[in-house]
């Protein structure tokens, strides 16, 4: 789990749109339609580690 | 390039939590004096490594975010956060050249002893500028030897740690900062009495290579020798090393 304050400032490193928390452990960019993983509580905010959001 | 940095720092992460440079109270006070954190600040410390600078800032700011490329370094930071009961520090994996924040997010931006690893200095400073709120400041510390000594140390740095890219002089940094849009508030050069052996140990350098590279420093001539003034104290090599301390302002 990541803190609410961190979630409020985290943005996509590619387009700088705010990311949304997606259960159980991902952060979704609504603009790029990609997911950034949270690994052991640490968001992995690297463009090359983003995965396409299959729900889109 | 990021993979190169990761592969160098992952195996030595724990060394950085107790290094006499990276974690010394004197050096951390230097960061605070330069950064002048305020209680309401949201601060970003990039290339935070095991979080030494972020931990120094934490008691003085509302919240500090530590960002680094190497998961093993951040694991150490997270372990220390729990051990010390710190509630206002968060960690994330990220790249200084593609920061995961909107424009005008932070009250304070810090970076220490890392920019000499950055392949794209322009992208690093443009991103620093972008995420800082207008009217706020960045505090910046990096190795910055004078030109003659740099030529000697460059070879040593590269063979000690192939993720080293290049150390810049204060004047070179000032030019980069201004091109990124910053106003220079202050730039100082500090000469340090460097513990060569510990420097090599932080990166787990093979002893034979460490001895060879010590020879490179001791073989310096001319201006480089005067600047580095290497000497053996009780068999341990000491020499000069330099850091530049820059405070830069985002107009607004």
> Could you report the predicted ipTM of this complex, rounded to two decimals?
0.96
Where residue B5 falls among pLDDT bands split at 50, 70, 90? confident
Nearest CA to CA, how far is A23 from chain B (Å)? 18
CB contact under 8 A, A42 and B91: yes
Q: Which of B71, B91, B101 sits opposite A11 (nearest CB)?
A: B101
3-class SS letters over A4-48 = HHHHHHEECCCCCCECEEECCCEEEECCCCEEEEEECCEEECCHH
What are B138-162's pLDDT values in tens digits? 999 999 999 999 999 999 999 998 8
The answer to whether the Cβ–Cβ distance between B101 and A5 falls below 8 Å is no
Rounded Cα distance between B141 and B186, Å, is 12
Q: Quick one: closest CA in A to B87, which residue? A: A3
Q: In angstroms, what CA-CA distances link B169 with A9, A27, B142? A: 34, 39, 10
Task: Answer yes or no: do A9 and B78 touch at CB < 8 A.
Answer: no
B65 near A CB under 8 A: yes
Facing residue for A10 by CB, picked from B71, B95, B100: B100
Q: Which helix (H) or strand (E) holds B132?
A: strand B132-143
How far apart (Å, rounded) are the C-alpha atoms in residues B12 and B73?
A: 8
Cβ distance B71 to A18 less than 8 Å, yes or no, reads no
Handedness of CA B224, B27, B31, B161 (dihedral sign): positive
Determine the Cα–Cα distance for residues B96 and B215; give it in Å rounded to an integer.
Answer: 34
Q: Looking at CA atoms only, how far is residue B220 from chain A in angstroms?
A: 41
**What does the pLDDT profile of chain A (56 residues) look like in tens digits?**
688 889 999 999 999 999 999 989 999 999 999 999 999 999 999 999 999 998 75
Mean per-residue pLDDT for B92-103?
97
- Where is pLDDT greater, at B186 or B135? B135
Q: What tokens were used for B147? A: 């030109």
Residue A6 near residue B65 (C-beta atoms within 8 A): yes
pLDDT greater than 70 at residue B116: yes
Q: Is B250 helix (H, G, I), strand (E, B) or coil?
A: coil
Interface contact A41, partner B, CB < 8 A:
yes
DSSP state of B182: P
Nearest CA in chain A to B131: A16
A41–B78 CB contact, under 8 Å = yes
3-state helix, strand, coil in chain B (%, to 5): 45, 25, 30
pLDDT band at residue B15 using 50, 70 and 90 as cut-offs:
confident
Q: pLDDT for B68-78, tens place per residue?
A: 999 999 999 99
Phi/psi region, residue A41 (left: phi>0; alpha: psi -120 to 50; beta: rest), is: left
Contact between chains at B90 and A46 (C-beta distance less than 8 A): no
Residue carrying the six token digits 């690893």: B117
User: Any idea which residue has 């950034």 for tokens?
Assistant: A36
Rg (CA), chain A: 10
């Amino acid at each position: 789990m990541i803190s609410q304050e961190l979630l409020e400032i985290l943005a996509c490193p590619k387009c700088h749109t705010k990311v949304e928390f997606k259960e159980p452990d991902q952060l979704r960019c609504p603009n790029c339609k990609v997911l950034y993983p949270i690994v052991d509580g640490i968001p992995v905010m690297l463009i090359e580690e983003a995965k396409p959001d299959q729900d889109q | 390039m990021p993979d190169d940095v990761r592969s160098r720092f992952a195996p030595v992460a724990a060394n950085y939590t107790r290094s006499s440079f990276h974690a010394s109270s004197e050096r951390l006070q230097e960061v605070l004096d330069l950064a002048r954190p305020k209680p309401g600040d949201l601060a970003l410390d990039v290339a935070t490594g095991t979080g030494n600078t972020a931990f120094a800032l934490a008691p003085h700011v509302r919240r500090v975010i530590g960002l680094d490329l190497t998961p093993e370094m951040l694991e150490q930071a997270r372990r220390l956060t729990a051990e010390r009961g710190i509630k206002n520090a968060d960690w994330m994996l990220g790249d200084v050249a593609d920061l995961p924040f909107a424009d005008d997010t932070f009250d304070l931006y810090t970076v220490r002893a890392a920019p000499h690893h950055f392949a794209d200095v322009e992208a690093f400073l443009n991103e620093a500028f972008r995420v800082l709120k207008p009217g706020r400041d960045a505090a910046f510390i990096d190795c910055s030897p004078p030109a003659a000594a740099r030529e000697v140390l460059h070879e040593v740095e590269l063979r000690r740690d192939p993720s080293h890219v290049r150390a810049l002089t204060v004047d070179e940094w000032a030019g980069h900062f201004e091109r990124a849009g910053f106003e220079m508030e202050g730039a100082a050069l500090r000469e340090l009495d460097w513990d060569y052996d510990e420097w090599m140990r932080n990166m787990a350098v093979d002893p034979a290579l460490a001895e060879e590279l010590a020879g490179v420093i001791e073989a310096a001539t001319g201006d480089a020798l005067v600047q580095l003034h290497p000497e053996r104290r009780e068999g341990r090599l000491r020499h000069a090393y330099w850091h530049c301390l820059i405070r830069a302002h985002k107009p607004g």
